Amino acid sequence: MGTPESGDSAGQVDPEVIELAGKVFDFARSGDAAALAAYVDAGVPVNLTNDKGDSLVMLAAYHGHAGAVEALLSRGADPDRANDRGQTPLAGAVFKGENEVVRALLTGGADPAAGTPSAVETARMFGKAELLELFGAE
């Protein structure tokens, strides 16, 4: 990042940082667990969020990438971090029918009652009895 002497104004984010963040979000969307792990291990915040509050876990979960979710959770990602709309990764995975991701999130400590709507409420809305049973919320 530049200094005031280099012409950057205070509070302005270096374009290279924005480009890097974009790459990392793309790795989450595409499920590139190895790249996500490498960037987080190198210092990218594991709970990094985009302009909508979607975390890396949210993007990986919503796009059906259990391996990427597991890689992030094993590095300390918050499984219940809600986006700006109050949605959690678990509720997103329930909505998308990503049962493998649901299991990865539960194993990683996700709370089925967190968020608005919660994963339990989402499962009820879509008649997903097997998930309600898994959540202990028949």
CA distance 34 to 114: 28
Domains of the chain are 13-135 (1.25.40.20)
Residue 76's CB is within 10 A of a number of other CB atoms, namely 10
pLDDT for residue 12? 80
Tens of pLDDT, residues 66-112? 999 999 999 999 999 999 999 999 999 999 999 999 999 999 999 99
Alpha-carbon gap, residue 102 to 91, rounded angstroms:
9
Given a cut of 80, whether residue 7 has pLDDT beyond it is no
If you average pLDDT over residues 51-65, what whole number do you get?
97
User: What mean pLDDT is reported for the chain?
Assistant: 91
Distance CA(93)–CA(103), nearest Å, equals: 10
